[in-house]
Amino acid sequence: MVSARKQVEIVYNPDERINKLADEVDKEAAPVSRLTLFSPCKINVFLRITNKREDGFHDLASLFHVISLGDVIKFSLSPSKAQDRLSTNVPGVPLDDRNLIIKALNLYRKKTGSNNFFWIHLDKKVPTGAGLGGGSSNAATALWAANQFNDFLATEKELQEWSSEIGSDVPFFFSQGAAYCTGRGEVVQNIPPPLPLDLPMVLIKPQQACSTAEVYKRLQLDRTSKADPVTLLEKISRNGISQDICINDLEPPAFEVLPSLKD
């Protein structure tokens, strides 16, 4: 019965895990009917592209790190047993199954057999097309929320494994906030976060779009950095982050696709 459920609002704690709900909610108490969750974005402290695979994807080695910028997503159970309903504060955001939130909820139902559908409102703060993983974070948040509403039908490890079917960046958002990511990005190794989340940071997002597909088309592997990503991690562990660590193999081809990025 929905009437036996409760509302829960989660306040993001940057000194703890990305999601604190599993620690905050008493699993023996009445299940929730509404959730308000923070959905943080991420930066790539360094990004090495190491190989082009036979399936057309590229292997990468990168240090992903969440920052305090993020979206807020509100979930509530819908009486419908047919479809989810998504709204947002930003025009132009798809509201159907092109949106990764809806894809994530569909995937959860497919994997678990759940028949719960949701009303969702996305308060969008993370710019799209900025390489910050906003959509991937939204997808991970939706999977995690669905699991709360369904009394934990899946383990968090299962959610992380399933999430790679949505996108390569999604599994990272089940990490502890910083991770060394390899493969297409879906192989996640937790590391101690080297950056405090209250560190002042300037992010610049140009108005023009820069197609990731076009950037990869311009990538020349023989012209990428030769820095060993494991060595970069060791330097960060010893000395912290410095400019020489912040290597991005996609920067040169991105400048070719969108020369104004250099201005």
Q: How confident is the model at residue 21, as a pLDDT?
A: 42
- CA neighbor of 185 nearest in space, from 69, 99, 64, 54: 64
Other beta carbons less than 10 A from residue 72's beta carbon: 18
The pLDDT assigned to 262 comes to 82
Rg (CA), the chain: 19
The DSSP string of 199-261 is S-------SS---HHHHHHH--GGGS----HHHHHHHHHHH---GGG--BTTHHHHHHH-GGG
State pTM to two decimals: 0.88
**Residue 42 is among the residues annotated as catalytic for this protein:** yes
**Using CA atoms, how far apart are residues 238 and 117, in angstroms rounded to an integer?**
48
pLDDT score of 124: 96
Cα 52 from Cα 45, distance rounded (Å): 21
Give the pLDDT confidence of 1-40 residue by residue, as tens digits.
Answer: 233 444 555 444 444 444 444 444 444 555 667 889 999 9
What does the longest C-alpha to C-alpha distance in the chain come to?
Answer: 61
What is residue 33's predicted lDDT score, i.e. its pLDDT?
77
In this prediction, residue 30 carries a pLDDT of: 54
**Regions of the chain with pLDDT less than 50:** 1-6, 10-27
- The domain defined by 2-196 folds into Ribosomal Protein S5; domain 2 (3.30.230)
Choose, from 42, 71, 84, 103, the residue flagged as catalytic.
Answer: 42
Catalytic residue among 71, 84, 169, 249: 169
**What pLDDT is attached to residue 24?**
46
- Is 169 annotated as catalytic? yes
Task: Pick the closest to residue 156 from 178, 140, 167, 169 (CA basis).
Answer: 140
Structural domain boundaries in the chain: 2-196
pLDDT of residue 212: 83
